[in-house]
Amino acid sequence: MENPEQLLRKGVHHEALKQGAVKAVLGGMAWGVVLIALLIFGRICWDGAPVLLKPEFPFVDTAFLTEKTETLHVFDDASGTRHSLPASEYHGWVEKHGAESIFNETTYSYSGGGIAGPIVGTALLTLLSIVLALFFGVSAAIYLSEYAKDGAFIRWVRLAILNLAGVPSIVFGLFGFAVFVLAAPVFTDTPSERSLLAIPLGFTWFSFQGWNSSLIAGSATLACMILPVIITASEESLKAVPQGFREASLALGATRWHTIRKCVLPFALPGILTSSILSLARAAGETAPIMFTVAVAAKDDFPWEGATGPLGVLQSQVQALPYHIYTLAARIPSSDYTQRAQYGSVFVFLLMIFLFSTVSIILRNRVRSKLKW
């Protein structure tokens, strides 16, 4: 066929080469990221899975999940056999064989037993902080989206909330320490000496002396940290509810609050839950905000042990997985005997966040399927 001007010709066009190069670079980046992530997760699973999983039924080492953290004692006995025993079993062994039959003893803190304390602590912290953040965040979002008149002030408020999302978590930690641990108000019969302000109420005192390092102080700090994300996302979800629902409800003689409760909030719920799933993982994973406000490296009892009622639980300190991982990595020397606790904790932590997210997503999808429009 004649094609004198050669507008369409065979062969590789130089544009195509450029396009291919761009695609290759972009693709390489994406796959590179995936590869790095896979390497990290692979390493954690490779070393962590054997701690938690075992070849015979029930395939999970439940002791690691249900036992408290203990010091690991490693020593030789008289015949030269090497033993590694957690503190509780070690004392029994010493009683049976006598202290004189122990040689070359080394101890590794936090490396024996299980990690039930940190698991429970993280679960409580995450749950409580998400509940607090949802309550305050959704309230604020409802105000911003449904009541506030758009003006310069509200725009500043929105900007401030967005900026809050970018504040480093250690700053939140210090904020929580200054506000919740040292200055938050409590009702008490005997105000502490470092109380900033104690107001007598007759039967008791209203004292600004802080909540000390406690579950409630830590949860409040974490809640502050995830609040901006929850507010912003909730506001977007509320705005996405069709205006027609509001108008229809109002036109039927419903009050504004009734309309929000029955015709706006339920339909914004899936979006709000999606945002809280992301926040959940973040709250569970942060170390800095809890370091000063709640977390302790070692604790021998669960928060409810020795606590007087639910208030006592809120006032207790807890261990938390991210802080525990930090302690294991930074405070104790790494050796063959500590690796079990180190990799095991990280692996369990990953599983736990995965579980949280999965449950939240299932919950969200159920809500969503029920409230579709």
Partner 1 sequence: MTPQTLPTSGTRNGLSSAEPAIRVVDLDFSYGDKQVLKDVTLDIPANQVTAFIGPSGCGKTTLLRCFNRMNDLVPGARVTKGAIVIEGANIADREVDPVQLRRHVGMVFQKYNPFPRSIYDNVAYGPRTLGESKKAALDEVVERSLRRAALWDEVKDRLDDVATGLSGGQQQRLCIARTMAVDPEIILMDEPCSALDPVATARVEELILDLRQHYTIVIVTHNMQQAARVSDRTAFFYLGEVVEYDTTRKIFENPEKKRTLDYISGRFG
Which residues make up the interface to partner 1 (CB under 8 A)?
A: 149-150, 242, 244-255, 258, 262-263, 267, 371-373
Tell me whether residue 92 or residue 244 sits nearer to partner 1 (CB atom): 244
Helix (H) or strand (E) holding 197, with range, is: none
Closer to partner 1 by Cβ: residue 150 or 193? 150
CB of 230 to partner 1, least distance (A): 24
- In the complex, minimum distance from the CB of residue 241 to partner 1, in angstroms, rounded to a whole number: 10
Altogether, the residues listed in the chain come to a count of 373
Give CA–CA dist 116/119, Å, rounded.
5
List phi, psi (to 5°) of 302: -70, 160
Q: Give the C-alpha separation, 101 to 37, whole Å.
A: 48
Q: Is-contact 88 134, C-beta < 8 A?
A: no
- Considering the complex, what minimum distance in angstroms separates the CB of residue 328 from partner 1? 50
Residue among 249 and 338 whose Cβ is closer to partner 1? 249
CB of 88 closer than 8 Å to CB of 113: yes
Q: Name residues whose C-beta falls within 8 Å of residue 332's C-beta, 6 or more positions apart in sequence.
A: 108, 109, 110, 111, 338
Shortest Å distance, C-beta 147 to partner 1: 12
Nearer to partner 1, 143 or 326 (CB): 143
Sign of CA dihedral 271, 274, 276, 282: negative
Q: Which is nearer to partner 1, 259 or 345 (CB)?
A: 259
Q: At what angle do helices 339-370 and 116-142 cross, to 10 degrees?
A: 30
How distant, in Å, are the alpha carbons of 133, 181, 198, 277, 314 from that of 137?
Answer: 5, 22, 30, 14, 21
Nearer of residues 109 and 249 to partner 1, judged by Cβ: 249
Nearest CB to partner 1, comparing residues 152 and 251: 251
Pick the closer one to partner 1 by CB: 81 or 369: 369
Residue bearing tokens 């037993």: 113
The residue to which tokens 């639980």 are assigned: 313
CA distance 189 to 11: 89
CB 152 to partner 1: min, Å:
14
Half-sphere exposure of 53 (CA within 13 A, CB side): 9
Nearer to partner 1, 29 or 248 (CB): 248
Least gap, CB of 244 to partner 1 (angstroms): 3
- ω into 55 cis (within 30 of 0): no
Tell me how far, at minimum, the Cβ of 333 lies from partner 1, in Å.
60
Q: How far is the CB of 260 from partner 1 (least distance, A)?
A: 13
Contacts of 310 (CB under 8 A, 6+ apart): none
Tell me how far, at minimum, the Cβ of 243 lies from partner 1, in Å: 8
